């Protein structure tokens, strides 16, 4: 119980630091300080995940490829429906989630639904297909690592999607907007 609470607090700290930096318009040295603080909390969170006695992601590690493929497809489908076809983001996410629930088995449908949250990002956030694919891969990775740790805690799917989009934006800004 305490481990789940600590990991939830660490994840919340990462999100708060990123949000605070964005609201403050962090540039220059402030941006690098923000990255350092986020890395510190991220490393603590990763160390906490791997310190758990149970294997995080247990059975999910055996089928990483389908999870990653569904995550990338879910982000891409939602993003294309909203950005390219002009559908409302909530409608696009709902369509992807409904289709996934009808076609895919339970866990993969949950992955697609999680990914659809990340795909709700606007063109100003996910500016192209490389960013969409990166966000999908990160959603899949976060799902594999975090779902068993946050079992029974509400809001984890949206949190994973938001974290994946934030990490994608950070990666691409550090790489110079490839």
Kindly state whether residues 41 and 70 are assigned to the same domain.
no
Kindly state whether residues 61 and 49 are assigned to the same domain.
no
Q: For the purposes of burial, counting CB atoms within 10 Å of the CB of 178, is it exposed (0-12), middle (13-18) or buried (19 or more)?
A: exposed
How many domains in the chain? 2
Kindly state whether residues 106 and 161 are assigned to the same domain.
yes
Kindly state whether residues 75 and 141 are assigned to the same domain.
yes
Kindly state whether residues 116 and 46 are assigned to the same domain.
no
> Tens-of-pLDDT digits for all 178 residues of the chain?
555 655 556 666 666 655 555 555 656 655 666 666 666 656 666 665 666 544 544 454 567 888 889 999 999 999 999 998 988 999 999 999 999 999 988 888 999 999 999 999 988 888 888 899 999 999 998 888 776 666 666 777 888 888 888 888 888 888 776 5
The boundaries of the domain holding residue 147 are 57-178
Model-level pTM? Answer: 0.67
Kindly state whether residues 88 and 162 are assigned to the same domain.
yes
Closest CA to 117 of 93, 141, 138, 133: 93
DSSP 28-58: THHHHHHHHHHHHHHHHHHHHHHHSSS-TTG
Alpha-helical regions (H) of the chain = 2-24, 29-51, 64-79, 89-103, 106-118, 129-146, 156-174
Kindly state whether residues 35 and 96 are assigned to the same domain.
no
Kindly state whether residues 156 and 117 are assigned to the same domain.
yes
């Amino acid at each position: 119980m305490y481990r789940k609470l600590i990991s939830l607090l660490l994840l919340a700290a990462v999100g708060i630091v990123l949000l605070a930096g964005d609201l403050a318009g962090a540039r220059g040295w402030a941006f690098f300080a923000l990255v350092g603080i986020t890395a510190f909390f991220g490393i603590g969170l990763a160390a906490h995940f791997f310190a758990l006695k149970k294997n995080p992601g247990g059975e999910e590690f055996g089928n990483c490829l389908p999870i990653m493929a569904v995550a990338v497809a879910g982000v891409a489908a939602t993003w294309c429906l909203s950005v390219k076809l002009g559908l409302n983001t909530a409608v696009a996410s709902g369509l992807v989630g409904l289709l996934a629930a009808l076609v895919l088995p339970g866990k993969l449908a949950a992955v697609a639904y999680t990914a659809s949250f990340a795909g709700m990002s606007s063109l100003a956030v996910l500016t192209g297909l490389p960013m969409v694919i990166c966000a999908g891969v990160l959603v899949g990775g976060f799902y594999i690592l975090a779902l068993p740790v946050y079992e029974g805690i509400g809001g984890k799917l949206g949190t994973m999607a938001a974290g994946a989009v934030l990490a994608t934006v950070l990666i691409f800004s550090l790489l110079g907007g490839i």
